[in-house]
Amino acid sequence: MLPWIIIGIIVLLLVGSMVAMLIITNPIAEMVYRNHLVNPDPENRKRECSCVTNEEQVAMWETGLAWAEPHKDKMKEVSVTRDGLKFVGEYYDFGKDRTVIILPGRCECLVYSYYYAKPYEEAGFNVLVIDQRSYGLSDGEFNTIGKQECEDLRVWIKFVEEELGIHKIWLHSICVGSSTSVLLASQPDCPTSVKALVMDGCFISFRESFKTHMEDLGRPTFPVLDEVMYKIKKYTGTDVRKIAPIRLMDKVTIPVLFLYGEKDIFSRPEKSKLLIEKCASKDKEVEWFKEGAHSHLRYTNPEQYDAAIARFAEKHK
């Protein structure tokens, strides 16, 4: 009986150690979750550059403002509502029969999206930039990694169709914004007006991307990473695994242009190639950039970036 007693003691010690570890790490996971995925002050909404210490980010912000300034006469403020929340945007009407909706990355407001508008203006699109839920001036407290943002996007698409009379809609998405566009495009009832996706730095899963972010910051991932994923589900109902783009791309059949950087540490090339291969679209293309950080590809390679969009837009009129 002695060996069984020893085994029992060992099991109790392991369970006790695990419980103690979770008690210690749970507050850390809560802090990480709220710092990255929750609007800390939903009643005090504002639009501002998300990283004023990053020179490239600031330069992109200022370049975007410089694009928007001379087009003020083409812009009108717009809004939609869903589930008691109000979401706001700006519509730049260039009199075209196609509109692109730009979906920015995590923590970004619509001003950030100005930076990506120029190639679409030149390619013959109207431009809709939006503050997604919990960012900018839009309502909401939680980022849901695309689950609720996808349903919000449906409302924006309906607005473009019914209020603006446009039935050719493209989605340009950056980083986590791509999770929203992939989720929508993978659904059998995706609006037929959505004609193409352009995705900059789409990750294979939010868990994979967030893990890399934590590693880049020099923070331990176990068990905090999975605790954060649990908190996403607890607070928003989002099961990150189920809506991971790698699990949905085989249902995406509309034209897709992937934009990826060979030195992107958050959407690594070896992972990104898996996503490209799984995409079911017969009209999929990928543009690789030798230089450029995650979400900053256009900053480093503006001519190549804009030319890739122009070619794709010309091909899929």
Q: pLDDT category, 222, cuts 50, 70, 90?
A: confident
Asked if residue 215 belongs to a domain, the reply is: no
CATH number at 80 reads 3.40.50.1820
SS3 (DSSP) at 103: strand
Per-residue pLDDT tens digits for 126-139:
999 999 999 999 99
Q: Does 256 have pLDDT greater than 70?
A: yes
* Cα–Cα distance measured from residue 130 to residue 169, given in angstroms and rounded to the nearest whole number: 14
Instruction: Write down the pTM of the prediction.
Output: 0.94
Per-residue pLDDT tens digits for 51-76:
999 999 999 999 999 999 999 999 99
Segment 237-244 shows an average pLDDT of 97
Per-residue pLDDT tens digits for 135-187:
999 999 999 999 999 999 999 999 999 999 999 999 999 999 999 999 999 99
Segment 206-225 shows an average pLDDT of 88
Q: Which of 71, 157, 163, 80 is nearest to 120 (CA)?
A: 71
Number of domains in the chain: 1
Residue 310 burial (CB count, 10 A): 15
Query: Following CA atoms 303, 306, 309, 310 in sequence, which dihedral angle do they give, to the nearest 10 degrees?
Result: -90
SS3 (DSSP) at 202: coil
Asked if residue 65 belongs to a domain, the reply is: yes
Task: Give pLDDT, residue 8.
Answer: 55
SS3 (DSSP) at 289: strand
Q: Does 6 have pLDDT greater than 70?
A: no
Asked if residue 27 belongs to a domain, the reply is: no
Asked if residue 231 belongs to a domain, the reply is: no
Tell me, rounded to whole angstroms, the distance of Cα 17 from its chain centroid.
37
Asked if residue 47 belongs to a domain, the reply is: no
Asked if residue 266 belongs to a domain, the reply is: yes
Sequence letter at residue 9: I
* Cα–Cα distance measured from residue 136 to residue 124, given in angstroms and rounded to the nearest whole number: 27
Domain that holds residue 61: 52-205+241-315
